[in-house]
Every structure is written in C-alpha cells, then in structure tokens.
C-alpha cells in the first residue's frame, strides 16, 4: 500500500467522523431545551468536527505550509466560536433568561 492510499482512506474516515460531530451538534441545536445547552452542544461538537475535517485535509495537503494554514484556521474558528458563544450567553443572561432546570417529580 502506498502513502497516498493510506492517506486517502484515513482522510475519508476523518471526514466521516467530522460529519458525525457536525450532525450531532445540529441535532443538539434543535433538540436541547434552552439557549445555554444549545450553545454548549453546538460549539463543542462543531469545533471537534472541524478538527477532524481539518486533520483529514491535512493528510491530503501538498506541503507543510498548507497544513500549518489549516490548523491556524481551526485555531481562529475555535477562538471566535468561544467568543461568540460567550457573547450570546451573556446577552441571554443579561436579558433575564434563566438556565433550564429539570423539574422534580
């Protein structure tokens, strides 16, 4: 087996895992009860999914500079995603929206 074959199968597997995490984050966005749990599900799953996709792309990259750029883009997305999540949660909290709590029976 050549390196291109191994990298091709590995990157395909990483793309599939990344797509699963993107799907799981989207399901969490739709199904969770309040803005705080939705933000948590979306930011965690999407950042992890993007990490798998970037790693899959890095296996197919032509040079090390492309790999460096891919991981730099991922880092920027992580920082901006966390900042946006904080701002949305802070605005929700400032408007008086309380976190969801499970009802006790």
User: pLDDT (tens digit, 9 = 90+) per residue, 51-79?
Assistant: 999 999 999 999 999 999 999 999 999 99
In a domain, residue 99? The reply is no
In a domain, residue 71? The reply is yes
In a domain, residue 103? The reply is no
In a domain, residue 105? The reply is no
In a domain, residue 102? The reply is no
In a domain, residue 100? The reply is no
The per-residue pLDDT for 104 is: 64
Number of structural domains the chain divides into = 1
Dihedral (C-alpha) 15, 16, 18, 20: value to the nearest 10 degrees?
Answer: 160
Print the domain residue range for 15.
3-94
In a domain, residue 14? The reply is yes
The per-residue pLDDT for 101 is: 84
pTM to 2 decimal places: 0.85
The per-residue pLDDT for 35 is: 92
State the pLDDT confidence band at 105, using cuts at 50, 70 and 90. low
The per-residue pLDDT for 86 is: 94
In a domain, residue 81? The reply is yes
Cα–Cα distance for residue pair 10/68, rounded to 1 Å: 19
């Amino acid at each position: 087996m050549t390196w291109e074959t191994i990298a091709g199968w590995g990157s395909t597997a990483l793309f599939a895992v990344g797509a699963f995490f993107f799907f799981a984050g989207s399901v969490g966005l739709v199904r969770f009860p309040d803005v705080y749990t939705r933000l948590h599900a979306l930011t965690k799953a999407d950042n992890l999914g993007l990490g798998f996709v970037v790693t899959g792309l890095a296996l197919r990259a032509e040079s090390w500079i492309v790999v460096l750029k891919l991981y730099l883009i991922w880092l920027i997305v992580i920082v901006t995603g966390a900042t946006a999540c904080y701002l949305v949660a802070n605005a929700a909290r400032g408007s008086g929206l309380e976190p969801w709590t499970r009802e006790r029976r």
